[in-house]
Structure 1
C-alpha cells in the first residue's frame, strides 16, 4: 500500500511538471507578443520577437496608433466579428440538425452517410480547396462564399451526434405523447439540453472562423471586406513603418477569443467532457 501511494504521488508530481511546462510553452509566445506591443515596430525588424524588457524602449505609442491612427484595422476587426458570428451561428444550426438526425432517427443509408462524414474528417482543406473554389467562383465577392461551403462541419456533426446519444429517449417519447412536432421536440426539448455542447462547439468554431486565413484569401477580392487575418497580412511589406500597427494589432486580435473562452469556460469543459464519454 505504501509503495502504491509513493507511485501515485510520483505520478502526480510528474503530471504537474509536465503540464506546467506545457502551460509555459503555450503562454510564452503570447507574453512575448504582449511585450513587443509596447516596443517600436523597428525593433521587430532589428531584433525580432524577444523577452528583452528595455523600459526605455517601451511606451504606449503603439496603442495610441491603434485607437487613434488613420488605418483600416477596425474595419477588418468588425468584418472578422461579423463573419465569425455568422459562421458560428450557421454552423451550429445546420450541424445540430444533422447530428440530431444521425443520433435519433433510423433511415436508409444512415451508416453510409455517417461514414462519409468520418471520411471528410480525415481530408484536409488543401485537398479539396481547388475544386471547391471552382464551384463557388461564380458566387461573387461576398461572405456567403466563405460561410456556406462549411456550414455542415464534419467534426461538429460528429461531436453533436456523440453528445445526443446520451440523451434519454424518454424525452423524445414524452414530447411526442404531448403532441409536439419533430421540430418542436428539437427546438423546445433538445436544444436546451445541448447548451454545453453548443458552448464547446461555439468556441472551437469561433476560433477557426476568427483565425481563418487561407480560404478568405482565395475568396475575398475587395479590400473593404478583408478580415483581420488578411488585413494584418497586408501590413507585412518593405514599404512604410507598418510593423508597429502589425504587432499591437496582432496582440489585440487575441482579445475576442480570450473573452469568448472566459465567458463559456464552464460550459466548454462540461460539453467537451460529456461529448467524449457519451456514445
Structure 2
C-alpha cells in the first residue's frame, strides 16, 4: 500500500471516529427535538426514543407555547434572559478589572489575594450555598433577581482566566500611556480592554452558559413563580399530579436558542481566547 493510500485510509478512519463521537454527543439534543414533535400520549407510553412514526410528528406542542398555557413560560424566558444578560455584563466588568489588577500591578498582598482566589475556586459552590443563603436573608434579598446574581458577579474562574490572559499583555503600553498623561482607568478602558477582546468573548460564553443553566441557587432564593428562571420553571411542569410534556419538551428546545446565538456571535474569538488565556504565565 502506497503512502498516499495509507494516509487516505487513516483520514477516513479518523473522520469516521469523530463522526460517531459527534452523533453520540448530539444524541440528547436529537432525542429532545424528536420528543418535542411527538404527541404527549406517545411520550408517556414509550418515553424518549429515536424510533418514531413520521406521520405522528406534529407542531402542536410548539403551538401550546404561544397559547394561554404558555404565558408563564415566556415570563420565565424573559427572567432568564434578563438575569443572564445583566450577569454577563457585570461579571465581565468586575472580574476583568480584578484579574487585570492582579496581573499588571505590584502591590502588597497581591500573591495572597491570588491564592485566595484559587482557594475559593477549589471549593464547590454547594458548600458555600448555606452561608450565602443566610447572607441573602440578612440582606433581605430573598425572592429577588439581585439574590440570584450577587454571589456570581465576581466569579473566581473568571478572575483567574483574566489574570492569566493579562499576564501576556505588554506592560510597555501602560508606561507609554502614563507618559502621555493617561489615567489608570483610561489605560484599562482605552488601551488594555480592547486587547482583551478574545478573553471577553470566551468568558461571555462560559458565564452566559453557567447563568442560563443555573438551577440550584435560584431554586433556593426564589419563591414566587413569576420570578422563576427557565430551569426552575420547566422543572415545575413535572408534578405527582400530572406532567405537561407538551410545554416541557418544546420549551426545552427553545431554551437552546439563546446559547447558540451567543456562541455564534462570539465563536471567532472563543478558541483564541481560551488558548491564550490558558497558556500565558
TM-score by structure 1 length?
A: 0.93
* Structure 1 equivalent of residue 189 of structure 2: 187
Which range moved further: 24-33 or 79-88?
A: 24-33
* Structure 1 equivalent of residue 264 of structure 2: 262
Tell whether 2:141 aligns with 1:129: no
Name the Cα RMSD after superposition.
2.2
* Distance in 1 (alpha carbons) for counterparts of 2:161 and 2:273: 10
For residues 25-174 of structure 1, the aligned pairs below 5 Å read: 25-71=24-70, 72-138=72-138, 139-174=141-176
Which range moved further: 197-206 or 18-27?
A: 18-27
Q: What is the total number of aligned residue pairs between the two structures?
A: 278
Residues 1:130 and 1:270: Cα distance change in structure 2 (over 3 Å): same
* Distance in 1 (alpha carbons) for counterparts of 2:18 and 2:274: 19
Which range moved further: 110-119 or 80-89?
A: 110-119
Tell whether 2:254 aligns with 1:252: yes
Residues 1:248 and 1:185: Cα distance change in structure 2 (over 3 Å): same
* Distance in 1 (alpha carbons) for counterparts of 2:214 and 2:277: 25
Encode CA deviations 1:160-193: one digit per residue, 9 max, x unaligned. Answer: 0111111111111111111010011011111111
Q: Judge conservation of contact 1:41–1:241 (CA < 8 Å) in 2.
A: no
Deviation of 1:136 (Å): 1.2
Q: Which ranges of structure 2 fall in alignment gaps of 5 or more residues?
A: none
TM-score by structure 2 length?
A: 0.92
Deviation of 1:239 (Å): 2.9
* Distance in 2 (alpha carbons) for counterparts of 1:201 and 1:41: 38
Q: Judge conservation of contact 1:120–1:154 (CA < 8 Å) in 2.
A: yes
* Distance in 2 (alpha carbons) for counterparts of 1:106 and 1:33: 51
Which range moved further: 69-78 or 198-207?
A: 69-78
Encode CA deviations 1:107-157: one digit per residue, 9 max, x unaligned. Answer: 111111111111111111111111111111232321111111121111111
Which range moved further: 253-262 or 231-240?
A: 231-240
* Distance in 2 (alpha carbons) for counterparts of 1:14 and 1:107: 55
* Distance in 2 (alpha carbons) for counterparts of 1:75 and 1:40: 25
Deviation of 1:41 (Å): 1.8
* Distance in 1 (alpha carbons) for counterparts of 2:135 and 2:11: 53
Deviation of 1:69 (Å): 3.7
Deviation of 1:225 (Å): 0.6
Deviation of 1:202 (Å): 0.3
* Distance in 1 (alpha carbons) for counterparts of 2:220 and 2:93: 25
* Distance in 1 (alpha carbons) for counterparts of 2:134 and 2:280: 39
* Structure 2 equivalent of residue 278 of structure 1: 280
